[in-house]
Amino acid sequence: MDTPTRLSDYVGGVFKTISSRKGMKKAIDKGLVSVNGTVAGTGKFLSGGEKIILSSEKNKSDNPILKLQLEVCFENNHLAIIYKPPGILVSGNKKKTIANALAYNLTKSSATDALTSPKPVHRLDFPTSGLLLIAKTHTSVIALNNLFEERNVKKTYHAVTYGEMPLKGIITTNVDEKDAFTEYKVLKTEPSERFSCLNLVELFPKTGRKHQLRVHLSSIGTPILGDKNYHKEGLLLKGKGLFLHASSLEFTDPITSKIISVTKDLPKKFRKIFPEN
């Protein structure tokens, strides 16, 4: 374009789903239109070459509110970090999910692009406990996803494994035919009559493949205690769940540029084996 043009003047008729200028203005006011990855207002000027995206907004009925009390570890106007208990899905078709409980536990953002229902921006397995990052606005969904894609979120996990293992190392076994990298460090080892020994292991995944930590630890012969999928034959501990915990998240808030660092203590079942941790 030869001269800068207001976003509200330009986008009328651009998208098939909303053909009128008035309809597009409403979409912009709701924070559903982003320019180059950032939610934009009606007064935004375009100079040409920008990438404009129109997001869809789900109806409230699409996300039933679950009155399940969650521990909120951190919250500001555009994101939150909650503690996910073991034995609950992050999202899915069932009503009992973390995603459906977020609106009940979090304060709705006052931003113009606030989400009707806050949204998890990564996953933890059903049996895994720990910290989960949540977006509260359309802008933060895009920005936080970019942080994960660029590997700018430092994630730390703790697990209890069984079997002798080197005190530290890097595991690079492919997961689902994709490159996967996990750095680990053994913090403590306790003898065990049934399992030979139990290890408290600190884990630093550099990639985020499905079941990555479980697959990686099993691949070096030291599966996670209580893992129904990747245990050694005859060595499945039943009734205690999976000993895998997402213990810390650290990243630079893409909206405020402040460093956010949150840590969650190890679950009680970990501390029964390793009392001093």
- Mean pLDDT score of the chain, rounded to an integer? 90
* End-to-end CA, the chain: 62
Interatomic CA distance for residues 191 and 274, integer angstroms:
11
* Model confidence at 8: pLDDT above 90: no
What is the mean pLDDT of the segment spanning 254-267? 97
- Render pLDDT for 60-69 as a digit per residue (tens, 0 to 9): 445 678 999 9
Which pLDDT value is given to residue 257?
96
What is the mean pLDDT of the segment spanning 80-109? 95
- Render pLDDT for 189-238 as a digit per residue (tens, 0 to 9): 999 999 999 999 999 999 999 999 999 999 999 999 999 999 999 999 99
Interatomic CA distance for residues 213 and 207, integer angstroms:
10
Q: Which of 113, 125, 176, 265 is catalytic?
A: 125
125 is catalytic: yes
**Is 161 in contact with 219 (CB distance < 8 Å)?**
no
Interatomic CA distance for residues 273 and 190, integer angstroms:
8
Residue 83 Cα distances to 90, 139, 236, angstroms: 11, 23, 26
* Model confidence at 185: pLDDT above 60: yes
What is the mean pLDDT of the segment spanning 171-179? 95
pLDDT band for position 43 (cuts 50, 70, 90): confident
- Three-state secondary structure string covering 191-228: EECCCEEEEEEEEEECCCCCCHHHHHHHHCCCCECCCC
* Model confidence at 13: pLDDT above 80: no
- Render pLDDT for 134-170 as a digit per residue (tens, 0 to 9): 999 999 999 999 999 999 999 999 999 999 999 999 9
Tokens matching residue 191: 């003898």
pLDDT band for position 59 (cuts 50, 70, 90): very low
**Is 268 in contact with 168 (CB distance < 8 Å)?**
no
DSSP 8-state symbol, 98: H
Interatomic CA distance for residues 56 and 105, integer angstroms:
24
| pTM of the predicted protein model | 0.79
Q: How open is the CA angle 254-260-262, to the nearest 5 degrees?
A: 140
**Is 82 in contact with 70 (CB distance < 8 Å)?**
yes
CA-closest candidate to residue 5, choices 38, 39, 35: 35
* Model confidence at 49: pLDDT above 50: yes
Percentage of the chain surpassing pLDDT 70?
Answer: 92
Residue 228 — left, alpha, or beta (φ > 0 → left; ψ -120 to 50 → alpha)?
alpha
Which pLDDT value is given to residue 55?
73
Length of the chain: 277
